[in-house]
Amino acid sequence: MRRPKNVEKYQYNYSESKLLHKLSSAARWAGAKVVYAVLLLYYVLRSDEVPLKEKSKILGTLGYFILPTDMVLDFIPLLGYSDDMAALLWALHSVATNITPQIKQQAKKRLGELLESYDERKIDEVL
């Protein structure tokens, strides 16, 4: 999968509180796949077993997700989160070996708290 251009520079935009706020405010607009991808990366980031190099990729990707004015403005219907999803998929592919069943379980639990309902088959397509 192709690496997004200069994604690491966005790591300085990352903060846990900003990420959690964006997730809670944008979950319905972003959709289950985007939110699940973000949550997977969030829980991988919190793992002590993930190398710093991989965490840098995650921080950059999540920092990019937090920005409301990235390549495609997030509030544009249907397109708003497409650039974010491309970056999220790249990061997930990069750290896939670090995504444990426990991390998937944590992400699905939190996803259920953020969204009233979602199709579990569709979010399993993320990986």
CA distances from 89 to 17, 116, 117 (A): 22, 24, 22
Cβ contacts of 127 within 8 Å, gap of 6 or more: 40, 92, 96, 99, 104
Residue 105 in any domain: the answer is yes
Q: What is the mean pLDDT of the chain?
A: 85
pLDDT beyond 60 at 80: no
What's the total number of domains in the chain?
Answer: 1
Q: Are 63 and 13 in contact (CB under 8 A)?
A: yes
DSSP state of 48: T
Residue 2 in any domain: the answer is no
* Structure-model confidence comparison of residues 72 and 90, the more confident one: 90
Q: Are 4 and 90 in contact (CB under 8 A)?
A: yes
Residue 94 in any domain: the answer is yes
**H-helix or E-strand containing 68?**
none
Residue 40 in any domain: the answer is yes
Q: Which residue range forms the structural domain that includes residue 104?
A: 7-116
Residue 125 in any domain: the answer is no
Reported as a pLDDT band with limits 50, 70 and 90, residue 31 is confident
Residue 67 in any domain: the answer is yes
Residue 26 in any domain: the answer is yes
How much is the pTM?
0.85
Average pLDDT over residues 91-102: 96
Q: Model confidence over 100-117: pLDDT tens digits?
A: 999 999 999 999 999 989
